[in-house]
A = this chain, B = another copy of it.
Amino acid sequence: MSWNQKHLLDIESLSSDEILTVLDTARAFKAVGERAIKKVPALRGKTVVNLFVEPSTRTRISFELAEQRLSADIINFSADASSFKKGETLKDTALNLEALNADFIVIRHSASGAPHFLSRVLDARVINAGDGAHEHPTQALLDAFTIRERKGNIEGLNVTILGDILYSRVARSNIWALTKLGARVTLCGPSTLVPKTFEQMGCGVTYNVDEALQTADILLLLRIQHERQRKTMFPGISEYTQLYGLNKARLAKTKSEALIMHPGPINRGVEIDSEIADCERSLILEQVTNGLAVRMAVLFLLNGGKGPQELA
């Protein structure tokens, strides 16, 4: 077992051994979620602050439940970035939360690097729950967990990430995680949203959807954020669906054992057909279940937990 991090700020700075340690630990926590009593005392008497400066429902609930199942004391602090303009700086807010003896700060923020900044000014342990277009490390860890659980191994797999890559922290964290674990990652989508520069991260880029589908063992779709559509870069929802949406015809081009993933919430009929989202090859709800286990594992390891044997 290998874990030498004080914080979980990004995937980029994790070793593959550290990633695998999280996945191994998460396996034990997934079993906790299947028990009659889904609770362990690992964080009893510890204080976790969920500091969500950017709105979130799913990730916040997943973290909150992970913290409850670890028996932590929890403070939810939601604010929009604008409220920081009128009042306290992020630094002052964080220092005030730490002055309440907070042991962990889980932060989501619209500014890339906000968690790293906090880690430099705080003694508390910081977990990045999504920072701007930078990283969303627990999402990548839960995706890697899900793939490994189903495929046995990640090394040598072909993973295609399809959609709006440019501003996607999910894509960035997944590229780091999956390439570190030995997968071949290919990005695909409209050329305005998938710049060639991503190749510097060690993955391939293609604008040929058929090719991207045919080779994939794992097809990771991203959510089309149509509520905040960027007009100058995005071809329009219906055009996107027509060119890149996963429908029956496109699914027929994939390997029969290829699996489908999506960080949610899905737009049925936009980036994925409703029927495909619900089919046996879709891992979308398993990702949610695994996200809880992975977040418990991260909190547990950052708290100094020595690995799954402690939960036996």
Q: Which residues of A contact B (CB under 8 A)?
A: 33-39, 44-47, 57-58, 61-62, 64-65, 68-69, 73-75, 77, 79, 86-89, 92, 95-101, 227, 264-266, 268, 285-286, 288-289, 292
Within the complex, which residue of B35, B57, B75, B89 is in contact with A45, where a contact is CB–CB below 8 Å?
B35
CB neighbours (8 Å) of A46 from chain B are 37-38
**24 pairs, A vs B, C-beta closer than 8 Å:** A34-B101, A35-B45, A38-B46, A38-B101, A39-B44, A39-B45, A45-B69, A47-B65, A47-B68, A61-B100, A64-B75, A65-B73, A65-B75, A65-B100, A68-B73, A69-B73, A87-B227, A92-B265, A99-B286, A99-B289, A100-B288, A100-B289, A100-B292, A101-B289
Within the complex, which residue of B64, B99, B268 is in contact with A285, where a contact is CB–CB below 8 Å?
B99
A143 to chain B, nearest CB (A): 15
A260 to chain B, nearest CB (A): 15
**Total identical chains:** 3
Choose among A33, A86, A100, A265 the residue with the greatest number of B CB atoms under 10 Å from its CB.
A100
Within the complex, which residue of B38, B73, B88 is in contact with A38, where a contact is CB–CB below 8 Å?
B73
Residue of B nearest to A61 (CB): B75
| Interface secondary structure of A, over-half rule | mixed
A267 to chain B, nearest CB (A): 8
CB neighbours (8 Å) of A286 from chain B are 99
Q: How far is the CA of A158 from the CA of B28 in the complex (A)?
A: 58
CB neighbours (8 Å) of A68 from chain B are 47, 73-74
Residue of B nearest to A89 (CB): B268
Q: A33-B101, A77-B57, A292-B101 are in contact. Are A96 and B264 (CB under 8 A)?
A: yes
A81 to chain B, nearest CB (A): 15
CB neighbours (8 Å) of A87 from chain B are 227, 265
CB neighbours (8 Å) of A288 from chain B are 96, 99-100
Sort A-B residue pairs by CB-CB distance and give the 4 closest, nearest first: A37-B45, A99-B288, A39-B45, A68-B73
Q: How far is the CA of A92 from the CA of B286 in the complex (A)?
A: 13
CB neighbours (8 Å) of A268 from chain B are 89, 92
Q: A58-B96, A100-B292 are known contacts; what are 7 more A-B pairs with Cβ within 8 Å?
A: A33-B101, A36-B45, A37-B46, A88-B265, A88-B266, A96-B264, A99-B289
Q: How far is the CA of A35 from the CA of B79 in the complex (A)?
A: 30
Residue of B nearest to A57 (CB): B77
CB neighbours (8 Å) of A57 from chain B are 77, 79
A77 to chain B, nearest CB (A): 7
The answer to whether B37 touches A44, judged by C-beta atoms less than 8 angstroms apart, is yes
Q: How far is the CA of A74 from the CA of B74 in the complex (A)?
A: 12
A60 to chain B, nearest CB (A): 10
The answer to whether B33 touches A86, judged by C-beta atoms less than 8 angstroms apart, is no
Q: How far is the CA of A265 from the CA of B97 in the complex (A)?
A: 12
CB neighbours (8 Å) of A45 from chain B are 35-39, 69
Choose among A79, A92, A95 the residue with the greatest number of B CB atoms under 10 Å from its CB.
A92
